[in-house]
Amino acid sequence: MFDIKTLESYQAIDNKLYQVMDAEGKLVIPKWKSSLDNEQIVQAYRDLLFVRTADMMAVAYQRQGRMFTYPPNLGQEAIHIAAGLVMQEKDWLVPAFRELGAWLAKGVKLSEVFLYFRGHEDGSRFQEANRVLPVAVPISSQLLHASGLGYALNYQGEDAAVFAFVGDGGTSEGDFHEALNFASVWDAPVVFVIQNNQFAISVPLAMQTRSKNLAVKGIAYGMESIMVDGNDIFAMHDVFSFARDYAVTNKRPILIEAVTYRAGAHTTSDDPTKYRTSEEEEEWAKKDPVLRLQKWLTRKKLWDVSTEEELIASYRKKIDAEFEIAEHYPEYNIDDVFGYLYEEMPDELKRQKNDYMNFINSSGGVK
Amino acid sequence: MKYIFKFADIGEGLEEGIIIEWYVEKGQSISSGDPVVKMETDKVVTDIPSPKDGIISQRFGAVGDTIKVGDALVEIDIPGVEGEEAVKTAAEQPLPPSETKVEEKGFGVVGTIEVAGEGAYLPSSGEGLPAAEAPVKQEGTRKVLATPVARAMAKDLGIDITTITGTGPAGRVTKKDIERSKHQQPAASPAQPAPVKEQFTSQPLSMIRKTIARNMIRSKQNATHMSVMDEVEITPLVEARASLKPHFAELGVNISYLPFVIRAVSMALREYPILNAELDMEAERIIYKNNINIGIAVDADDGLVVPVIPDTDQKSLLELATKLNDFATRAPKRELKLDELKGGTFSITSFGSIGGYYAVPVINYPLVAILGVGKITHKPVAKDGEIVVGNVLPISMSVDHRIVDGGDVARFLNLVLEYLQNPLLLLSMWDGGKEGYKGESK
């Protein structure tokens, strides 16, 4: 449990990290109890496995030329699953682009995720998910939308929160600061989540900021800020539960820094061996969120590791089926790409369209 | 059915990749998700997994070949699937051309010239616009979009740039276009040009070759190279190595002369820290390195790599030999990790194992010294006033004369040679590196 009293002893300015269990899956807070029951925790572990499998398969699809690009979630999944456990249907999810588990929890279909990264606009038209914004490619721009959504919730008198995600690199963007300031000034119920995965593509955190941590940035805007071990699903769940409750009850924003590590590449176009050492990767691998929960569950005799292989095989089938839906989705009409900006297409746009058609017709089948 | 698995643009805007390693053989069965091939691209080196279950019926390209995006990697025979799906995958037909053909003269029509104006403007740039207002000469020279560099290049080659079809933005004539048209230019005078044998074949630079080229230029442009050469009679060392060889072999380790050289150099570097240093011109200071990490030049098929053995002054001969064996196995397979290529403070190149007595090695800038080991030969040498046959090892060294003086390098080299001459010194004078090494405490 994390409450307002806990918050007092975990002030960002003191550089204190909220952690419930260590890398070995052992509790570091004596007598800690989860607000989740055992069944929910086991389900959370299954979700972690599912998301990790889907993530790794997504990278493989991209390498096979079946998807244009993909940002791997490897190592950060606990943050997303924990958020998924806390977010309610009426809450808004405002993603950056690396929150697969949270999207799925909100009802986004895996086939829609694949469709998006296959370059299809319909991948952002969620059939069953409510109150989820599409992926935001321009870094940090989504946070301004989040502040606006929070303001709107207040205006409409709804008791709901906005979960808004950004990376560590995003905190260097002006939009981040504008969004936090507006949310605070307007009392918008936004849970801002910085996924501090240590790298903005290849720029390490040390080159990104001179602040002692990223959570302290919230202090300047007059909001509560918490630094959490992002690879500890219990800690993340505690803090998300508290933050949602805090935001909705007090009509105030709150900032969470989830300290984690991007174990994979930034996207499939990136090669992290060029800018970081394998020692560093190995150090973080020991703190892996999935492994950590697995150790906890095994110790509690709630999980039999020997069943995992079969489970993952069944997940693989499911994921392949979802991918095939995306792969066989009707192709978009190329005219749509050019058709909607002007009532009548200007010459320059016609030229671009013509160039593009020539490219499509001459290129190696890349559509 | 036969399924052609093509190399895709796996890095947002790639045009090609180089085959690093095949994981499959012809006739081998493969499952969806299994790695097929390792590819190197401008952005990543990565495994490409198979999209299908089946049997590899054909492989396209050998290790080192460049594969264009869209070209075939393998053909997979998928048992049990016939007919329509086969047609579907094989087809992958490009979309039909847009029905709204844009009517603009000069666009991508082979054989005509890109005329500036008539909408052929570059967005966000004034270039080309004035020509639209100015009357365009209909005959003779026509205005062509090209950079000054491209114009100069065409002029140098004696090619009339107005005869070239541009493929750049807005029909801009690029250097590539000129290059291409150079090969298409008819021979000057004879009406019927005789078939000319190609003067050269070109091969695009690999990533590793680009890196080597850049590093070599950087070294030669920045360091003031000064070289010194000497030779040493090493019969006792030859004997020492011969007697150690079977013992090392029992441990599965092949020992060359290089571990002895590394030991000698490491011990001497502790006496002469200036050779284990770096010059920081900007801050006007010398940076002495507190560790002795020696980079070893390894000859690999696709180019030189220099993996580093850290703390060589603290490593036993067995550890050094084991590390060298390991590099020799992994370097050609390109399995060395980035960390292993970093952090060197001194370099050794042992070209003599291939051939050559002396060389002027190029410093691995920003380091300040490199030692080259030449070929050991039987040669007459004078010993106690007699001429006897000795084992002579030639040594070459290059240093950055900006901070290393001639005296320093000669004294350093004397010490190295002394150690190599008396292998017992290599053992008896070595303290196991336990006192540590502090560069600045000379």
Q: Are B65 and B19 in contact (CB under 8 A)?
A: yes
Do B55 and B164 lie in one domain? The reply is no
B119: left (phi over 0), alpha (psi -120 to 50) or beta: left
> Over 70: is that where the pLDDT of B296 sits?
yes
Closest Cα in chain A, distance from residue B142 (Å): 21
The tally of domains found in chain B comes to 3
- Please indicate if any CB of chain B lies within 8 Å of the CB of A125: no
Using the beta-carbon criterion (under 8 Å), do B6 and A365 form an inter-chain contact?
Answer: yes
User: What are the domain boundaries of chain A?
Assistant: 4-327, 334-367
pLDDT reported for residue B300: 82
Does the pLDDT at position B101 exceed 80? Answer: no
**CATH code of the domain containing B350:** 3.30.559.10
Domain closes at, from B39, B63, B91: B91
- How high is the pLDDT of residue B337? 85
Domain-located, residue B220 = yes
Query: Does the structure show a pLDDT above 60 at A155?
Result: yes
Out of A201-205, B2-6, B350-354, give the one with best mean pLDDT.
Answer: A201-205
| Percentage of residues of chain B with pLDDT beyond 70 | 81
The whole-angstrom separation of Cα A259 and Cα A284 is 11
Confidence band of B363 (pLDDT split at 50, 70, 90): very high
Residue B111 is assigned to a structural domain of this protein: no
Residue B236 placed within a domain? yes
Cβ distance of A269 and B9 shorter than 8 Å: no
- On whether both B168 and B217 belong to a single domain, the answer is no
Q: Give yes or no for B9 touching A (CB within 8 A).
A: yes
Residue B279: closest CA among B194, B335, B362, B222: B222
Please check whether residue B309 lies inside any domain of the structure.
yes
| Amino acid B434: pLDDT | 64
B9, B49, B107: residue with CB nearest A366: B9
Tell me the mean pLDDT in the region A105-116.
Answer: 97
B47 touches chain A (CB under 8 A): yes
Nearest beta carbon to residue A354 from set B7, B49, B107: B107
List pLDDT tens digits, range A190-241: 999 999 999 999 999 999 999 999 999 999 999 999 999 999 999 999 999 9
Subunit contact A63:B49, Cβ cutoff 8 A = yes
Residues B340 and B410 both lie in one domain: yes
Residue B46: CATH number of its domain: 2.40.50.100
Domain that holds residue B180: 129-184
Predicted pLDDT at B167: 81
* Structure confidence by residue, pLDDT tens digits, B301-344: 878 889 999 999 999 999 999 999 999 999 888 888 888 988 99
When pLDDT is averaged across residues A309-313 and rounded to a whole number, the result is 96
Alpha carbons B37 and A364: distance in angstroms, whole number: 19
Is residue B251 situated within a structural domain?
yes
**3-class DSSP state for residue A136?**
coil
CA distance A295 to chain B (A): 28
- How far, CA to CA in Å, does B256 sit from each of A276, B59, B275, B317? 33, 39, 24, 10
Do B276 and B354 lie in one domain? The reply is yes
End-to-end CA distance of chain A: 50
> What is residue A51's predicted lDDT score, i.e. its pLDDT?
98
Is a pLDDT exceeding 70 seen at residue B44? yes
Residues in Cβ contact with B32 at an 8 Å cutoff, skipping those fewer than 6 apart: A320, B49, B50, B51, B52, B53
Of B73, B56, B78, B79, the closest CA to residue B19 belongs to: B73
Which among B282, B278, B280, B306 has a CA at the least distance from the CA of B294? B306
Count CB pairs under 8 A between chains A and B. 103
Q: What is the dihedral of CA B17, B20, B23, B25, to 10 degrees?
A: 90
Kindly give, in sequence order, each residue whose CB lies less than 8 Å from that of residue A117, ignoring residues fewer than 6 positions away: A58, A62, A67, A68, A69, A70, A123
Cβ pair A226, A257 in contact under 8 A? yes
The reply to whether B195 falls in a domain is no
Disruptive mutation site among A68, A114, A137, A269 for chain B (greatest number of B CBs within 10 Å): A269
Interface contact B104, partner A, CB < 8 A: yes
Instruction: Give the pLDDT band of residue B122 (cuts 50, 70, 90).
Output: very low
Distance CA(B6)–CA(B67), nearest Å, equals 10
Rounded distance between C-alpha atoms, residue B423 and residue B256, angstroms: 14
Q: Cα–Cα distance between B212 and B51 in angstroms, integer?
A: 36
Which positions of B are annotated as active-site residues?
401
Q: Tell me, what's the pLDDT at B391?
A: 95
B269 with B415, same domain: the answer is: yes
pLDDT averaged over every residue in chain B: 82
What DSSP line would sit under B221-281, residue for residue?
Answer: HHS-EEEEEEEEE-HHHHHHHHHHHHHHHHTT----SHHHHHHHHHHHHHH-GGGGEEEET
Residues of B in contact with A274 (CB under 8 A): 338
Strand partners, A257: A194, A227
**CB within 8 Å of A304: residues ≥ 6 apart:** none
Cα separation, B434 vs B426, in Å, equals: 15
Same domain, B258 and B162: no
d(C-alpha A117, C-alpha A323), whole Å: 11
Q: How many other CB atoms are there within 10 angstroms of residue A288's CB atom?
A: 20
Residue type, B6: K
Q: Is the pLDDT of residue A187 over 60?
A: yes
Report whether pLDDT(A112) > 90: yes
- CATH number belonging to domain A4-327: 3.40.50.970
| B101 in contact with chain A, both atoms CB, cutoff 8 A | yes
Query: What's the token pair of residue A121?
Result: 């606009």
Could you tell me which residue, B412 or B1, shows the higher pLDDT? Answer: B412
B97 to chain A: closest CA residue: A357
Q: Would you call A367 and B95 a contact, using CB atoms and an 8 Å cutoff?
A: yes
B198 is a domain residue: no
Closest alpha carbon to A257 in A293, A217, A208: A217
Give the pLDDT score at B139: 46
Tell me: pLDDT of B8 over 70.
Answer: yes
Res B302: pLDDT? 79
Name A305's Cβ contacts closer than 8 Å, sequence gap at least 6.
A294, A298
Q: Which of B7, B8, B338 sits opposite A274 (nearest CB)?
A: B338
Per-residue pLDDT tens for A64-104? 999 999 999 999 999 999 999 999 999 999 999 999 999 99
Question: Using a CB-CB distance cutoff of 8 angstroms, which residues of chain B are in contact with residue A355?
Answer: 108
Residues 209-268 of A with CB under 8 A from B: 265, 267-268
Considering only CB atoms, which chain A residues are within 8 Å of B20?
none
pLDDT at B107 over 70: no
pLDDT (0 to 100) of residue A212:
95
Q: Do B7 and A66 make contact, defined as CB atoms within 8 angstroms?
A: no
Q: Which residues of A are catalytic?
A: 262, 266, 275
Lowest mean pLDDT among A357-361, A362-366, B146-150, B409-413: A362-366
Residue B439 pLDDT: 53
Q: Do the Cβ atoms of A351 and B6 come within 8 Å?
A: no
Q: Is the pTM of this model over 0.90?
A: no
Best probe of the A interface among B50, B102, B167, by most A CBs < 10 A, is B102
Q: For chain B, give me the number of helices (H) and strands (E)?
A: 10, 17
Structure tokens at A216: 């302290």
Residue B134's pLDDT band (boundaries 50, 70, 90)? very low
Q: What is the pLDDT of residue A93?
A: 98
pLDDT of residue B207: 82
CA A188 – CA A280 distance, rounded (Å): 38
Integer Cα distance of B25 and B29 in angstroms: 9
pLDDT at site B83: 55
- State whether residue A313 sits within 8 Å of chain B by CB: no
Say whether pLDDT at A367 is over 50.
Answer: no
CB atoms within 10 A of CB A218: 23
Strand spans (E) along B275-356:
277-280, 285-288, 294-296, 308-309, 346-349
- Mean per-residue pLDDT for B257-261? 96
Comparing CA positions, the residue from A326, A310, A270 lying closest to residue A117 is A326
My answer on whether B225 and B177 are in the same domain is no
Picking from A269, A271, A347, the nearest residue to B45 by CB comes out as A271
Arithmetic mean of pLDDT, A158-165: 98
Cβ-based burial of A326 (10 A; exposed 0-12, middle 13-18, buried ≥19): buried
Contact: A353, B102; criterion CB under 8 Å: yes
DSSP A330: P
Q: Do B49 and A363 touch (CB under 8 A)?
A: no
B134 shares a domain with B61: no
B335 and B237 assigned to the same domain: yes
Residue of B nearest to A331 (CA): B95
